[in-house]
Amino acid sequence: MKVPFTNLKALHAPLKREIQRAIGKVIDSGEFAGGPFVERFEEQFANYCGSSHAIGVGSGTDALWLTLTAMGIGPGDEVITVPMSFIATAEAISLTGARPVFVDIDPVTYTMDPSALESAITSRTKALIPVHLFGQVAEMAPLLRVALKYNLKVIEDAAQSHGAEYQNRKAGSIGHAGCFSFYPGKNLGAIGEAGAIVTNDPQLASRLRALRDHGQTRKYHHKIIGWNSRMDGIQAAVLSLKLPNLDQENDQRRAHAAAYDALLGPIKEVSCPRTGNHRTHAYHIYSVRTPERERVLSVLAQNDIGFGIHYPVPIHLQPAYQNLGHRAGDFPISEACSKSFISLPIFAALSPIQIQAVGDALSQAWPATVLS
């Protein structure tokens, strides 16, 4: 049985007519860039996250970059993050002129290791960006304590964690700001590019609204140098339509993850993802670890099972960041994960039969282990 890594067609099929009607309303209104559809989604998403403000922008990368810029971070500054993430986390730091500084991840949750944070702080450190990798919120309490001690801003990279929780608080609402991507494959995905920032800081929200719109507070009056990063009305209308389904779809993802856990738990050569204390995982990605990745990938491919690798090269070893002077061995947990991660199919519309097909394929990699 063919099992795709993700299936956006199946996700959108039940909503196709409603999506077409929502797009039609935007077309009829002519409100394509910003406007009432964006404002409505911003209000809905802020309420969902438990934040006072949401600012819709063009992408998750824009969300990170504009937030750093709005906080005044720039050349000569340092921002701490992790090397196990999509490169956009570091790119946003670099685009402000600041320097990314990395700390390694926790070997269980794959999020920022709080015990490694304080030793990375210098007089130039201005902020930290914990990444809620794969849909699991980082261990925020100790990170916030260190940030408070050194007067650092905390920007949550929540691009993969829509609806995830930490100590009963939604991802994005815990630090000074939370940055989201609505890339189509996300748990809450648009039908194109879009992103948002949530915050409880009204001054930060006001500055972000200006920065995303060429620095203007009213038409053709520009107080600061900004950028064109407005969310468009079509994306906002679709996101408003899909947001009410997010919790139910996250529940389905958690059920799929539990089914995988039961299938793969007996295999000693596989490490299934684990949820840290005080957290509710959103399972944007279900990534297992195995020391025999190439052989397992070959078996999956032979059985027409989709997969991903998140991420095969940690950011500190990417050619784009060779100027930072890092070498293999600098962040051993991230490097070990990059060599052993395999992301299995997980999406709300995944069926039990498809999950079993993945398990059956994996049983061929370890024939001595009976999967049931």
**2-58, pLDDT tens digit by residue?**
999 999 999 999 999 999 999 999 999 999 999 999 999 999 999 999 999 999 999
- Residue 337 dihedral angles phi and psi, to the nearest 5°: -65, -40
Provide the pLDDT for residue 369.
53
57 SS3 class: strand
Instruction: Please check whether residue 96 is in contact with residue 309, taking contact to mean a CB–CB distance below 8 angstroms.
Output: no
**Which two three-digit tokens encode residue 299?**
């078996």
Indicate whether 309 pLDDT > 70. Answer: yes
Q: Measured between alpha carbons, how far is 187 from 256 in angstroms, rounded to an integer? A: 14
Indicate whether 202 pLDDT > 70. Answer: yes
Q: What angle do CA 135, 138, 141 make, to 5 degrees?
A: 145
Kind of pairing between the strands at 125-128 and 153-157: parallel
Torsion of CA 293, 295, 300, 304, to 10 degrees: 130
Provide the pLDDT for residue 363.
85
Provide the pLDDT for residue 368.
56
Provide the pLDDT for residue 364.
87
Residue 93: DSSP 8-state: H
Q: HSE (CB half, 13 Å, CA atoms) of 231?
A: 36
Provide the pLDDT for residue 365.
84
Q: Measured between alpha carbons, how far is 62 from 91 in angstroms, rounded to an integer? A: 10
Q: Measured between alpha carbons, how far is 278 from 332 in angstroms, rounded to an integer? A: 26
Indicate whether 372 pLDDT > 60. Answer: no
Q: Measured between alpha carbons, how far is 237 from 233 in angstroms, rounded to an integer? A: 6
**Which two three-digit tokens encode residue 64?**
């990170």
List the chain domain ranges.
8-104+112-244, 246-365
Tokens 């063919």 correspond to what residue? 2
Instruction: Please check whether residue 73 is in contact with residue 96, taking contact to mean a CB–CB distance below 8 angstroms.
Output: yes
Provide the pLDDT for residue 242.
98
Residues paired with residue 199 on neighbouring β-strands, in sequence order: 53
Mean pLDDT of the chain, nearest integer: 96
Please give the average per-residue pLDDT across 253-264, as a whole number: 97
Provide the pLDDT for residue 168.
97
Confidence of residue 203 (pLDDT cuts 50, 70, 90): very high
Please give the average per-residue pLDDT across 239-258, as a whole number: 98
Domain boundaries 8-104+112-244, CATH class: alpha beta
Please give the average per-residue pLDDT across 151-161, as a whole number: 98
Q: Measured between alpha carbons, how far is 193 from 230 in angstroms, rounded to an integer? A: 11
Q: HSE (CB half, 13 Å, CA atoms) of 254?
A: 16
All residues at 6 or more sequence positions from 49 whose CB lies less than 8 Å from its CB, including other chains = 170, 171, 172, 173, 178, 198
CATH architecture of 246-365: Alpha-Beta Complex (3.90)
Kind plus residue range of the DSSP H or E element containing 342 = strand 341-344
Indicate whether 367 pLDDT > 80. Answer: no
Provide the pLDDT for residue 370.
47
Q: How far is CA 221 from CA 106, 204, 211, 213, in A?
A: 47, 19, 12, 11
Q: Measured between alpha carbons, how far is 243 from 265 in angstroms, rounded to an integer? A: 33
